[in-house]
Structure 1
Amino acid sequence: MRGRWRTVVHDDPINLMSYVEWVFSQYFGMDARTANRVMMRVHTQGRATVSRGKREQMELDAQAMHTYGLWATIEEEQ
């Protein structure tokens, strides 16, 4: 579906796992279990999708992750 994008957070050697969980809870409103699951995906697979939607919103989400010190990119869904 064209026009659908996703924000992806990538693993980094700097941020603590607990901090990444906290960011996901604070910014995306994830519950503790979901934030932990997504953080573990970032940690073990090197990346995880944290949001999906229109490009403009995904750009905002990626920029927000940058302000928290996380490495994030956007990708168009195929």
Structure 2
Amino acid sequence: MGVMITATAPERTEDVDLRLTPEAVRPWQTVVWNDPVNLMSYVVHVFREYFGFPRAQAERLMLAVHHDGHAVVAEGAREQMELHARAMHDYGLWATVREAPQ
């Protein structure tokens, strides 16, 4: 004798919208931190060479690193910010990636 099994479809209670909203795609930041090793002129050079910043912007960011201990040098997609942080490490700078505050 066989056993008869019956199955019923699960009930659908609600539709979920899986589209990404601006709130769901928050930007990330590359942050360069102050260190006791690199000269301020070298940090300006790195910011100009790698990011292509004009001298005034590179100097402003370097001064933020020097006086405030850190500066946000880029903001965007996480993968791109990780590439920037790796590049800063290659230049000998201390950099991290963080989710941008709301």
Q: What is the TM-score normalised by the length of structure 1?
A: 0.97
Name the SS of the counterpart of 2:92 in structure 1. coil
| Bigger Rg over Cα | 2
Distance in 2, matches of 1:20 and 1:77, equals 23
Higher helix share goes to which structure?
Answer: 1
Distance in 2, matches of 1:77 and 1:69, equals 24
RMSD: 0.8
Identity %: 55
Name the SS of the counterpart of 2:35 in structure 1. coil
**CA displacement at 1:77 relative to structure 2:** 1.1
Equivalent in 59, 62, 67 of residue 82 of structure 2:
59
Q: Is the 8 A contact 1:7 1:72 kept in 2?
A: yes
Distance in 1, matches of 2:69 and 2:29, equals 16
Unpaired runs of at least 5, structure 1: none
1:12-65 CA distance string (max 9 Å, x none):
000000000000000000000000000000000000000000000000000000
Higher strand share goes to which structure?
Answer: 1
Report the residue type matching 2:50 in the other structure. Answer: Y
Give the length in aligned residue pairs: 78
